[in-house]
Structure 1
C-alpha cells in the first residue's frame, strides 16, 4: 500500500536525522506498525514522547505516522501525545489548530467522551493564553456537563479540567472559584509532577485567594496540604504565617504582619485591609466558639467575645448577626443579658493546633466521665453498706 510505503520512507528519513538515543525507537515504530501491534506501538510511543530529545520530532511524527493509525490507538493516549506535541509549537494559533483537529474528530464519538474532554480542555488552555476568555469558559462549561455524566473519570482528565478552570478563574480574579478548583487540581495530580517554581506559585496564589475570597472562612484543607510548605523557605513565608493566623483567629500576628514591609508591598492586600479585618473578626469569633465546651457555648457574654475578636462590646451583636447570616454559626442573641447562645459552628478542616484543642477537650471529657463513674460507684457502695446494716 502507498500509505505503508510513505510511512516507511518517513520513519527511515527521521531515523537518519535523529540523535543516537532515538534511532532504536524508529526501528520499533516500523516493526510494530508492519505487524499491526497497535497496543505495543502505543506503549513505545508513550516512552518516546517523554524523552527531551524527542521534542522536535513530535509534530511531524504525528502528521506523517501516528495520524495513519490513530483510530486503532487508545484515544486517551493519543490526546496526551497530541497535547505534548502541541506544546512544542510556539505560535498559539497554530498550536490551537493542531489540537482542534482532535477536538473535532472526537466530538461525535460517544465512546470517547473522556478523551474529547481532555482535548477540549487543553485547547481551552491555549484559548486562555490567547485571551479568548469566552471561548475558554464555553469549553469549561461543556466539559463540566460531560464529566458529571461519566461514571468514572481518569485522574489525568480531572487534573486537566481543574487546572484550566483554576487558571481561568485566576485570570478573572474570582478568588473563591479559583481556590476550590486549584485545590481539586492538587487532589488530582502528584506533587512530584510539579516543578518547585510552580509549587511556590500555586501556593502563593492559593494563599492570596484564601485571604481575599469572599465566603472562604476555613483554610484548613490548604494549611494541611504539603504544597504550602514550598513557601516556608521562600520570600513569601510571611504569607503562610498570615494564613495560619487567620485560621486560628490570631489578631496579634495579623497586626504584626500587616505592618511588615512585605505586606505593605502588596497593593492588593493593603487596599483590602478593611475586608481582611472583618474576615479575621469573623474567624476569631468562630475560633472562640470552637474552643469552648457545649456548656460554655450556651451563654457567651458580649464582653468575652469582644475580648477574643478585638471589637468593641457594642459591635459584638452586629458581628454575631453577620456570622449568623453567613451560616458560620447557629444560635441566638439575648440583647437584655448581652449574651450569645451558639448551638452549631460551621464544620471545619482542622490544622494541627486545632486538632490539639479537640484532643484536650476529649481528655477533659474523659476525666469528667471517669470522676462521675467513680463517684457513682462510691455512692452505690455506701448505700449498700447502709442497707446491710
Structure 2
C-alpha cells in the first residue's frame, strides 16, 4: 500500500487519487478477510495522514470522497481533517470536508431544510468541478432522503456532468448503482427527459450497466420518451407491482401520463411548423384517450415548458409555436434529415432567385445608362 501511495504522490491525475481512496477501503477488506483486522481509520493514519498536508487539496478531497462513499465509518477521518490547521487555511479543502461531512449526516438521518442548506452552502464556489461534484452529491443524498424523484434526476445529471469535468471515474459496481438509481428516478419523476439530459448522461443512452432483472426499467423509459402509449400500457400491466414499489405516489398513472405527453410531442414533431394547430380529436387519437384527456395532456405539456402556444377552447384545439428539443427515435432522426434537406433545397432556390433578380436588375440599369 505504501508503495502505491509513493508512486502517485506527485501525480496530478485526479482519477488516480479517487482510485487510491477505493484501494484503501479494499485493503482494509482484504486484511479483514484473512483475519488481520485493520480498521480504515488505522490504515489512513498509517499510510496517508502524514502526507496529507503536502498533497494537492483537490486530490485529498477526491480521495476522502472515495473512502466515505464506500465506508461511511470514515466520518472520523473527515472530522480529523477538518481540525487540521492546513485545512482551515485552504478554502477548497475546507469546503470539501464540510460537504462530505454534511453528506454523512444526511445518510445518518439528519436532513437539513432549504434555509439551513442556503446558510451553510449558499456561497460555495462551484467553479471548481470537484467542489461542484461534492455539492451535487450532497443534494443527491438529500433528494433521496426526501424521496423527491424530480430533484433527484436533476441533481444526478448535474453530478454526472461535474464528475466528468473533475476526471473521476466510478468503479463498475458504483456505475451500475448510479445507472439504476437515475433510471428509477427518471421513471417515477414528474419530469420528461430533454435532449440535453440524454446527451449528458451515458447510462441513459446506453444502459449496459443495468442487469437483466432490471432491464425493463430502461426499456420502459425509452418507450415513454418515444410516446409509445400502447407499449407503455402493456409494460405497466407486466411490471405494475414493481413500478408501484418504486414510489409512494401513483407511478403507473404517472408513466402513462408522461407517455401521452411524449406522444403529443412526437405528433408536433411530425408536422411542418406551418401546420402546428392540432385538434383535441387528433391528439386523442395518438394518446388513445378522450378529447377531454387530450386537452389535459396539452395543458401538461405547456405547463412543463415542453411546448409553447395556447389552447383554443372555441375550436377545441391547441396552437403550438415552439417545441423543446427532445430525444429522437431513429425514425424521427430520419424525418428530421428529410426536413433539413427539403429546407436546404428551399434556401438554395431562394438564393438563386435573389441572384437572378439582382443580375436582371443590373442588366436593366446598364440599359438605362446606355
Aligned to 2:244: 267
- Contact 2:57–2:92, Cα closer than 8 Å, also in 1: no
2:282 pairs with 1:307: no
Shift of 1:362: 0.8
**Equivalent runs, 1:54-203 vs 2, <5 Å:** 55=28, 56=38, 59-60=41-42, 63=45, 71-81=53-63, 92=73, 95-105=74-84, 109=88, 112-134=90-112, 138=116, 142-148=120-126, 152-153=127-128, 155-189=129-163, 193-203=169-179
TM-score by length of structure 1 reads 0.70
Following the alignment from structure 1 to structure 2, what is the Cα–Cα distance between the partners of residues 42 and 200? 27
Give the Cα–Cα distance (whole angstroms) in 2 for the partners of residues 41 and 359 of structure 1: 47
Aligned to 1:241: 219
**Aligned residue in 1 for 2:31:** none
- Higher RCO (CA < 8 A, seq sep 6+): 2
Are the structure 2 counterparts of residues 364 and 376 from structure 1 closer, same or farther at C-alpha, using a change threshold of 3 Å?
same
Greater mean deviation of Cα atoms: 177-186 or 198-207: 198-207
Deviations along 1:267-294, one digit per CA (max 9) or x if unpaired, are 2469422233223222222221122111
Distance 2:346 2:209 in 1: 42
Q: Which runs of 5+ in 2 are unaligned?
A: 29-37, 364-370
1:137–1:340 distance in 2 versus 1, CA, 3 Å = closer
2:164 is the counterpart of 1:217: no
Supply the distance in 1 between the matched residues of 2:210 and 2:63 (Cα, whole angstroms): 36
Q: What 5-or-longer segments of structure 1 have no aligned partner?
A: 1-20, 30-38, 385-389
Q: Which residue of structure 2 aligns with residue 295 of structure 1?
A: 274
The alignment's C-alpha RMSD in Å is 4.3
Q: Secondary structure at the match of 1:230?
A: coil
Q: What is the TM-score when the length of structure 2 is the normalising length? A: 0.73
How many residues get paired? 341
Residue 22 of structure 2 contacts residue 66 of structure 2 at CA under 8 Å; is this kept in 1? Answer: no
Q: Deviations over 1:240-288 (max 9, x none)?
A: 121112112111211221121x343332469422233223222222221
Structure 1, 349-358 or 176-185: larger mean CA deviation: 349-358
- Residue in structure 2 matching 1:286, options 241, 265, 279: 265
Larger Rg: 1
